Structures are given as structure tokens and as C-alpha cells.
Amino acid sequence: MDILTEMLSFDLLDAFLFAASRALCSPIVLFVQIQGFFICLVLALGWALASYVRNKEIRRMKGSRKSGNNFPFLCHNIDELEHSNQVNLPRVSVVMPLKGFGEHNLHNWRSQITSLYGGPLEFLFVVESTEDPAYHAVCRLLKDFKDDVDAKIIVAGLSTTCSQKIHNQLVGVEKMHKDSKYVLFLDDDVRLHPGSIGALTAEMEKNPDIFIQTGYPLDLPSGSLGSYCIYEYHMPCSMGFATGGKTFFLWGGCMMMHADDFRTDRHGVVSELRDGGYSDDMTLAAIAGAHKRLIWSPPVAVFPHPLASDLNFGRYWNYLRKQTFVLESYATKVNWIMNRALFSTHCYFSWGFVAPYFMSGIHLAAALRLYFKGYSFGEASLPCTGLWLAGCLAICTVIELLSMWNLTRIEVQLCNLLSPEAPPLSLASYNWCLVFIAMLVDNFLYPISAIRSHFSQSINWSGIRYHLRDGKIHKIERSKGKGPKFTDLGGKHLYGRRGAPSNYSFLVSLSRNFVQWRQPKKYDV
């Protein structure tokens, strides 16, 4: 029976699936499918290496505890907690650009200002205006902690030449203490560990060649598909931050730098950010690359990042749009070339990752239709190559998901060791079926978002529309109340006056246990 006669014996759907399954066994398509296997295995290997680095730090902390150090989450050598060492610690200014107020902000801010760093420390909360909902929440926070921490709120005003976040950061730098040696930029969705600032400072002191020190978040999905898409989007990036040292990646949510670099505008860090800067981390990473400066990511710099409980798919799409739009901004010609290469590579591998699943779905659908119709594979002349490829893809997918699960498990364990006072994190809430679906959805949508960003050259970020020209912001539009009412990840209210919730005093009472680092409470691991 020839192919034409065989296809005519099926109904239209059967004929389509049969023909498609045969076509998908051509050499070119086989290459695409095998490439999908390769992508899965490379991701699995990358997460395995990242797991090794994070797990090595866990073993180090446990070994330090067995050696008699009851505070390994603060330092590995207990002698570092001696008063003679603590009084010599450098001054650090923590600058926190704020926008809006959401369900996790109070917890995050509390974790930041109750750091157990033993040296001089100041916190600068920077808002756009007193009408920002964050302003009133921070005022209440500082009122409760006014006798315990050196913190203040700064009104930066509206940005005119750069993004509002960068403007807030630069105003904070201008207001920092004249004796500060380091400046730490933190986003309001960063949940610090008690020893995070001390660990970052210790690395800077140990290696003066470090230009920027950074970390990365561990997403805690809220249960929606949108939150899992964000978790999946961040996981491949986590490989670049789990090196335990030198890296080429930079996350704007946590960046520690030398304060004098801003005072002297070294390498143009101030002017490049101020004059048309859209993304703080991409701009600074470009400067570091151009001047061959060191970016460092210590293994303990991983921070819990709870996502909003009402994070819907639309807010995920807006977040993805902002992430792809970042590649349209650049500081130098080399930076533009690198962004274009990253744009092309990411788009290629995203659809290269999704395509094999689409092809395998056709193979399986054809095989199932033939099976239920009562045909044998020999009678239908259906090549078994497609089923063999689908089986290989399933195996590679399981390996990939196991590697992702293992890295998440280790990072959860590390976060629990670094924050022994906090409620323990758990993997029990992760839905791995949704993780797999999110992998397909996110990689399918990424090229679409990237292409749209390339042709639009404008983005709405927290109610402000930025327009780019030659990689720089050249126009800023504000239409208060007409933009989105919530930010993408934290579910923060952008407009109106909102204070702290009624149970705030309870949160404050919990956090006061960690304000006085010289008299720590019980830290039960």
C-alpha cells in the first residue's frame, strides 16, 4: 500500500497527524529535536554545578558549627565577632529606592534594617514623593525603630534624564554619610539574612579589586501560573550567580560598591546612569566590562523572594516585557553588540527549547490515534523514529527538572541556615507540573516579547512610560492614575495613601529580637 492510499484510508485528522509525523522525521527536523535534548542537558548541567557551589557553602557552615561556632550564619570564624574586630568594621550606607507598597514590603524592609552587621550602618529609604504609598509605610517603620537603627526617608523628586529608580539611587548616594566606605543598593523585594551585609562587606574588604558585588533571588511562587513563569525565567539566570566568586552577571536588586566610585564618578558610574540610564544593573555591568573591573557573587548571596499571592498572568507578561526591553538599552557600542547577541541567542534557544515538545506532541498524537484505530505501526508505515525521539525528550526533561529541583532544594536549605530565626522555607509548596508548563510558556513568549520590545522602543514601568533613542532614555511620560495600579511581582499599590497593616506592631516585636547583635537570642537550626 503506497502512502497516498494509506492516507486516504484515514479521516482528515488522522491523515494530517500521519503526514506531520513523517515530515518531522526529516534530517533537518531531527537536528532541531536533538538540539532540544542538548538544551535540556546543558541546563541540567548548569544547575548541577550551581548546586555544587551552594551545597559547598552549606557543608562549610555545618562544619563551622561542629567546630564550636554557634553563629555560622554571621561568620565562619567565631573570633570575628570579638569587639576588637567589630569596632574596626567599615561604615556602610544602604540605599533603597522605593516605589509603591505591597504585601511583602514590611517583612523585606524589616529584614534589611535589622541586620546583625557590627559596624556603622545607615539606611536611606528613597521615594519619588510623599504621595507614594511607600512613604507612609516607611515613616511608621522608622518611627518604631528610631532608637535602634540609623535610618531616614528621602524624597528624591521626579526623574527627568533617567529612570526613576536610578534617580532615587543617585539621590541616595548624594545623601549618604561622608565616611561611608561602601554603598549597598537594595530593592524593596529583597529579603536579607541577618549576616548578609556583613558577608558582603567581608568580601569587599578581603578583595579590594571587587568593583561590584551582587547576589540573586530565590523565587517563592505563590501558586499561579504567572508566578511559576517568573520562577522559571529566573532559574537559568541563577547559574551565572552561583559561581561562588567572579561572574559577568549583575542583579540590580543587590549591588554593593565602593562609595568613592560615586563620589569621584569613577569610570563614569554617575554620569552614565544619570544621562539617559534606564537599567542600573545593565549600565553598571557594561561599565565593568568596558574597564575590565571585577563583578563578584559570594555563595551566601541568595535571598528569598516571595511573589505576590495575586500575581496573575497579565502581570507576568508585563514583567517579561520589562526584562526584554532592558536589552534595548546600552551604554557603548560594544554593549549594544553584546545585547544584540544576547537577544538573538536567547530567542533562538527559547524557541529551540519549545519546538521539540511541539514535535513530540505530534508524534505521540499520531501514535495514539493509530493505536485507538486498531492499526499496527507496520500497517500504517509510521516511522518509530518519532516515538524514540519523544522518549529521549521525556528522559532529558526529567533530568532537567530533577536538576532544577535539586538546586531549589539546596538554595532553600541554604536560606534556612542563613536565617535561622525566620519561618523555614519548604519545597512542599512547589508544583512541578506547573513548573514544566511554565518552562514551555515562558520560552515560547520570550521571543515574542523581545521582538515587540525591539520595535516599540518604549515601556511602562510602574506607571511611567520611558522612550529610548540610541539606547538612552530621551522622553519620560507620566500620567498619574491612568497607568497600572499594581507593580508586577510584589502586587504593590502605586497610587494613593496606604499605611502599614494593623498587625504591624506584632511584626515589629518579632524583629526587635535581632536589632542588638551583641545579645543574640536563641538561634535554633
Res 392: pLDDT: 87
Reported for 26-35, long-range contacts at CB under 8 A and 24+ positions apart, including other chains, are: 29/359, 30/385, 30/389, 32/352, 32/355, 32/356, 32/359, 33/355, 33/356, 33/359, 33/360, 33/389, 33/393, 34/389, 35/352, 35/356
Q: pTM of the predicted model, to two decimals?
A: 0.84
The CATH code belonging to domain 87-331+401-492 is 3.90.550.10
Handedness of CA 403, 404, 407, 412 (dihedral sign): negative
Chunk the chain into consecutive blocks of 10 residues (it has 525) and report each block's average pLDDT, rounded to whole numbers. Answer: 47 57 63 85 95 94 88 83 84 94 83 89 94 90 83 94 95 95 92 93 95 94 91 92 90 95 96 94 93 95 88 87 90 87 91 88 72 54 66 92 96 95 89 94 94 90 87 86 57 52 35 37 33
pLDDT of residue 493: 63
Q: Residue ranges per domain, the chain?
A: 87-331+401-492
Q: Distance between CA 104 and CA 252 in Å, rounded? A: 19
Residue 146: the pLDDT is: 76
Quote the cell numbers at residue 297.
557573587
pLDDT of residue 513: 38
Amino acid at 256: M
- What does the pLDDT read at residue 209? 96
Residue 9 has a pLDDT of: 46
**What integer pLDDT is reported at residue 35 of this predicted model?**
85
Residue 512 DSSP one-character state: G
Predicted local distance difference test score (pLDDT) of residue 7: 45
d(CA 191, CA 423): 13
- Buried b / exposed e across 354-364, counting CB within 10 Å, b at 16+? bbbbebbebbb
pLDDT at residue number 389: 80
Looking at residue 499, its pLDDT comes to 38
pLDDT at position 104: 80
